Amino acid sequence: MNSRLNRVATFFVLLLSVTAPPARATVLWSMPGPVTVHENGQGTDILGGAVKRTKKDGDALYFKFHVNPLSDVSQEEYFAGFQLFEGDTERLGMGNSFQAWAYSAFNTEETGENNKVFGDLDLHSANPESYETGKFLAYELPRRGIERTIVFKVQFVPGSDDLVTAWIDPDLTPGMTEDNQLTLLTTQFRAKASFNQIRLRHHGLGAGWTFSDMAITTSFEDFIVRPFWQQMWFLLLTATTLLMGVGTTVRVVEKRKFQRQLERAEQAHALERERGRIAMDLHDELGSSLTQISLLGGLLRAEKENPALVEVHAGKLAEAADHSVRALEEIVWAVRPGSDTLQSLVDYIAHFANELFVGHTIRCRQDLPPNVPERALPPDMRHNIFLIVKEALTNVVKHAGGSVVQLQVQVDDGKLKIVIADDGKGVSASATAATGEHNGLGNMQRRAAAVGGKLEVTGTPGHGTRVEFLLNFPS
């Protein structure tokens, strides 16, 4: 089973490698927020040393933050931004510079075409502002309650100014990359961007800015908003669920297979027991009868000149032959597959009682159920119950000395009750307690215990004997 599970696990690993989205970038730092800043001057570091870059580094990093302006540039002048610091030295910032009055980069090595302060550079926007004359600008003013997402990339250049690319509200839907963003919405410039701190800042009028969804990563693709079914957590959850389902299925299949093997082994064992029982019955029942018949045949030949003895031996021979026929009939009934039912047991008990008491001075009254529920009985259970009844009825013939025996069979509520009661000489309490010495009572008790039943023998001298067998069928 373990090898099968290993093969299934390998299959799902290969499946995930084919269906999973491209490997995501490494997220170096993130802060979901929100963080609101208002009149906080230089601000305080929120990075905590998680990431830093110096003039010697030559890789690229991607920065992202989401902003909800609580101040409106059209009504109040202020400064706000997401800014890199190296110690206490200001480096590249993204937000709204005092004189820019637009989403802009500041502390750059370039100045925008429409900007008044060196280092300010307005960012291209998907929602340009317009003058009253109808001329459009390539940027928009930060408006109160209008939220924006800014993503920028810094390509660090050792010993020189770094290369920066910025996007306002870039397209982050599945399949998009930094290379297929609209050119008109992409701003590129140079700046000093070495850092070991990030500070969120606001100064001036208005109620400040609220920052959220802040992160630093090594790839633009990490910011792509993927549908949940392409998220790694969903893929892992799906794979885990499938593996658990397959594992459970394999366990169930293996368990059923083991149960079938166990059932076959039990059936084979039961068959061996049944064969042994049949062999024992043939030896005990037919063997002794046939031996007796053989001996009586020899006596007939030896006493052929004595008619009186011939008649005695012939009678015993006929009796032995009848016994052999009944024993053989019983063995055949016990092994016949169609007899493994409760109905067959009741019918055969009635047949045996009729055959046993035919022509006998003792009358057998039978009280049998008119409708017997359909219930299968294993051969050994059916045979043991019959032998209990057989022993009890045979004891009536041999020892009771009465005139009437009552045979009653009741089946209800999953219970089988068989009663044999006679009006004969009865037995004493000591006789019923001595299970190994009187009328085969010991064998009857052992057979009852073997099938999970209960046997009670009661009686008093001169008032008959009552044998009661009770069995609860398994549910």
Dump pLDDT digits (tens) for 44-83.
Answer: 999 999 999 998 889 999 999 999 999 998 889 999 999 9
Residues 220 and 343 in one domain: no
> Which of the listed residues 176, 202, 225 is the one where a domain comes to its end?
225
pLDDT digits (tens, 9 = 90+) for 361-371: 889 999 999 88
Is residue 190 assigned to a domain?
yes
Is residue 286 assigned to a domain?
no
pLDDT the model gives residue 431: 55
| Kind and range of the H or E run holding 200 | strand 197-204
pLDDT digits (tens, 9 = 90+) for 460-470: 888 889 999 99
The number of CA neighbours under 13 Å toward the Cβ of 153 is: 20
Give me the CATH number covering residue 375.
3.30.565.10
Is residue 313 pLDDT above 80, yes or no? no
Alpha helices in 336-423 (DSSP H): 342-357, 379-395
Residue-averaged pLDDT of the chain: 83
Is residue 16 pLDDT above 60, yes or no? no
Residues 218 and 355 in one domain: no
Give the count of domains, the chain: 2
pLDDT the model gives residue 202: 96
What is the rounded average pLDDT of the residues 313-332?
70
Which of 296-317 are b and which e, b meaning 16 or more Cβ less than 10 Å from the residue's Cβ? Answer: beebbeeeeeeeeebeebeebb
Is residue 298 assigned to a domain?
no
pLDDT the model gives residue 381: 86
Is residue 402 assigned to a domain?
yes
Residues 195 and 67 in one domain: yes
Is residue 437 pLDDT above 50, yes or no? no
Question: What is the pairing mode between strands 186-191 and 415-422?
Answer: unpaired
Domain extent for 409: 339-475
Supply the pTM of this predicted model.
0.50
Is residue 1 assigned to a domain?
no
What is the rounded average pLDDT of the residues 243-271?
83
> Which of the listed residues 225, 256, 284 is the one where a domain comes to its end?
225
Give me the CATH number covering residue 202.
2.60.120
Is residue 312 assigned to a domain?
no
> Which of the listed residues 194, 209, 225 is the one where a domain comes to its end?
225
CB contact at 8 A, 168 and 126: yes
What is the rounded average pLDDT of the residues 140-153?
93
**Length of the chain in residues, anyone?**
475
Is residue 448 pLDDT above 50, yes or no? yes
What is the rounded average pLDDT of the residues 279-308?
68
Is residue 233 pLDDT above 70, yes or no? no
Residues 362 and 219 in one domain: no
Is residue 16 assigned to a domain?
no
Which amino acid appears at position 28 of this protein?
L
Is residue 432 assigned to a domain?
yes
Is residue 338 pLDDT above 80, yes or no? no
Higher pLDDT, 372 or 149: 149
pLDDT the model gives residue 463: 82
Determine if residue 413 is left, alpha or beta; phi over 0 gives left, psi from -120 to 50 gives alpha, anything else beta.
left
Least confident of 4-13, 256-265, 353-362: 4-13
Query: Sorting pLDDT into bands at 50, 70 and 90, what band is 25?
Result: low
Residue 185 contacts by C-beta under 8 Å, 6 or more apart in sequence?
124, 125, 126, 167, 168, 169, 170
What is the rounded average pLDDT of the residues 118-143?
82
